[in-house]
Amino acid sequence: AQTVTQSQPEMSVQEAETVTLSCTYDTSESDYYLFWYKQPPSRQMILVIRQEAYKQQNATENRFSVNFQKAAKSFSLKISDSQLGDAAMYFCAYRRGNNDMRFGAGTRLTVKP
Amino acid sequence: DADVTQTPRNRITKTGKRIMLECSQTKGHDRMYWYRQDPGLGLRLIYYSFDVKDINKGEISDGYSVSRQAQAKFSLSLESAIPNQTALYFCATSDSPGYGYTFGSGTRLTVV
């Protein structure tokens, strides 16, 4: 079974600085998709970024980028120029095709002004 | 209106009571999912449905049942609620392979 591990239960960053959230996963598949979701205090689940495993190029979305290392099964999220609104719980997730999505335990990010 | 609507938003119920959480969607997606979120455990799959006639158990289905009344509606029931079912419950929908889910806003359930 596929598992997703987020080894950092909590992280903090100074406003305007950069922070990296870690995620590793376990799979025997070669074709799959990886995601980072943000959950602010409103508890809404918001898609931050998506990576297709067959693409070597790392996905980017404005201040958010990933470091996807397929051989190492690692998928970290980098947040640049952190803002107070980035404070949230972040979940890493794995999905193969149209199967269900598997989530990590989450990392709570605090942004200090 | 939201694409995926969950009701109620919050609910407190007593041990042993039957409770239903409802989910409806306007996305036209065939696949619908129920997850529960617990601190330190992330989101875990309870049940999922690929269409009205196709219901499947997830990793933690014990103590839960579901009903897919129509393509747009997928309800989760707790037949006899117990305190360790206290959690945040999410409904989600999906269409295209490899893309993310559309989530509802969650139901926070407390069983006392």
pLDDT at B2 over 80: no
Rounded to whole angstroms, what are the CA distances from B81 to A67, A77, B16, B57, B66?
42, 38, 5, 18, 14
- Could you tell me if B111 and B83 are in contact, meaning their C-beta atoms sit under 8 angstroms apart? yes
Q: Which residues of A touch B92 (CB under 8 A)?
A: 45, 101
Query: In angstroms, what separates the C-alpha of A44 from chain B's closest C-alpha?
Result: 5
Report how far apart, in Å, the C-alpha atoms of A12 and of each of A55, A85, A89, B79 are: 30, 13, 11, 41
**Among A23-32, A93-102, B79-88, where is mean pLDDT lowest?**
A93-102
Over residues A47-60, the mean pLDDT reads 94
Judging contacts by C-beta atoms under 8 Å, the chain B residues touching residue A106 are 40, 42
Q: Is B39 helix (H, G, I), strand (E, B) or coil?
A: coil
Size of interface A-B (CB pairs under 8 A): 55
Distance from CA of B82 to the nearest CA of A (A): 23
Task: Please say whether the beta carbons of A49 and A59 come within 8 A.
Answer: yes
- B40/A104 touch (CB, cutoff 8 Å), yes or no: no
Q: What is the pLDDT of residues B54-88, one digit of tens each?
A: 999 999 999 999 999 999 999 999 999 999 999 99
